[in-house]
């Protein structure tokens, strides 16, 4: 059982929904980024999504694009991201970390080497947004063989014909993207999300977590009440971009987590 599986089992036993927080590794710099990541579990974060900075983040809106640029300009790399995760693991061996990013840096490093290094650093799962199911042999299947969950995105345009293919080889959880388009672009609608979550759940026993467009504690509560949990990314990254302290970012995150946990 992975840390992700164990976390969802524990949440289910407590009757709680999951709160997942996304932050960009190395934003605004390595030291503050590590401080923020270390503060997330105490703020109520159940699973950490750690963004891997990339020069061409096609699925991300301006907020996360700029976070990636800040991280890259501060010297963050794939190795630096894994080192950050390893430093977090020195103090926390239970909170799952999902590495979210694009395939190019992984390919450049070499899949086998990357998977071994990610596992050693304490990474539990991968979300690689530009690898479709047709390319599962490239990374998904090797990742699962190495003991890493491979989490797939489903979107409002994933129809019934496509959904089974998307769910094949998916593990950990399914990430439902509540809106069409890029991150941070619009607000999620519970009325729109509910039937889609139900449709996905009819095809899988995996938890379904909803992200994109969740920016307030009230929205986190609404969306978590419909699904098995919710993800907040751009709203947290925006607070970091404003130069907020670790304590201030943690307080903002706690309010969101409390909302999700009320669901």
Active site (catalytic) residues? 49, 60
Ramachandran category for residue 170: left, alpha or beta (phi over 0 → left; psi -120 to 50 → alpha): beta
d(CA 75, CA 121) in angstroms, rounded, equals 19
Indicate the burial class of 97 (C-beta count within 10 angstroms; 0-12, 13-18, 19 or more). buried
Alpha helices in the chain (DSSP H): 3-14, 30-39, 62-73, 78-89, 103-109, 111-121, 140-145, 163-167, 190-201, 217-226, 234-241, 246-262
Q: Which residue has the tokens 């970091």?
A: 240
d(CA 27, CA 64) in angstroms, rounded, equals 10
| Cα-based angle 19, 23, 29 (whole degrees, multiple of 5) | 150
């Amino acid at each position: 059982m992975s840390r992700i599986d164990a976390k969802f089992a524990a949440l289910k036993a407590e009757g709680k929904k999951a709160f997942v927080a996304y932050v960009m590794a190395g934003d605004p710099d390595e030291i503050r980024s590590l401080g923020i990541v270390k503060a997330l579990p105490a703020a109520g974060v159940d699973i950490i999504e750690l963004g891997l900075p990339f020069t061409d983040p096609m699925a991300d809106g301006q907020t996360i694009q700029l976070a990636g640029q800040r991280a890259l300009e501060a010297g963050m790399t794939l190795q630096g991201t894994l080192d950050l995760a390893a430093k977090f693991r020195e103090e926390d061996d239970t909170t799952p970390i999902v590495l979210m990013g694009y395939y190019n840096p992984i390919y450049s490093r070499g899949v086998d080497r990357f998977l071994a290094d990610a596992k050693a650093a304490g990474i539990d799962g991968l979300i690689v947004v530009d690898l479709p199911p047709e390319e599962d042999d490239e990374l998904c299947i090797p990742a699962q063989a190495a003991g890493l969950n491979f989490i797939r995105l489903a979107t409002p345009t994933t129809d019934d014909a496509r959904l089974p293919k998307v769910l094949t080889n998916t593990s950990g959880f399914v990430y439902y993207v509540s809106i069409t388009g890029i991150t941070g672009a619009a607000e999620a609608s519970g009325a729109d999300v509910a039937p889609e979550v139900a449709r996905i759940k009819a095809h899988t026993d995996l938890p379904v977590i909803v992200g994109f467009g969740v920016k307030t504690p009230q929205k986190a509560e609404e969306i978590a009440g419909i699904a098995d949990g919710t993800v907040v990314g751009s709203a947290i990254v925006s607070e970091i971009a404003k130069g907020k302290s670790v304590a201030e970012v943690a307080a903002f995150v706690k309010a969101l987590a409390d909302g999700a946990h009320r669901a």
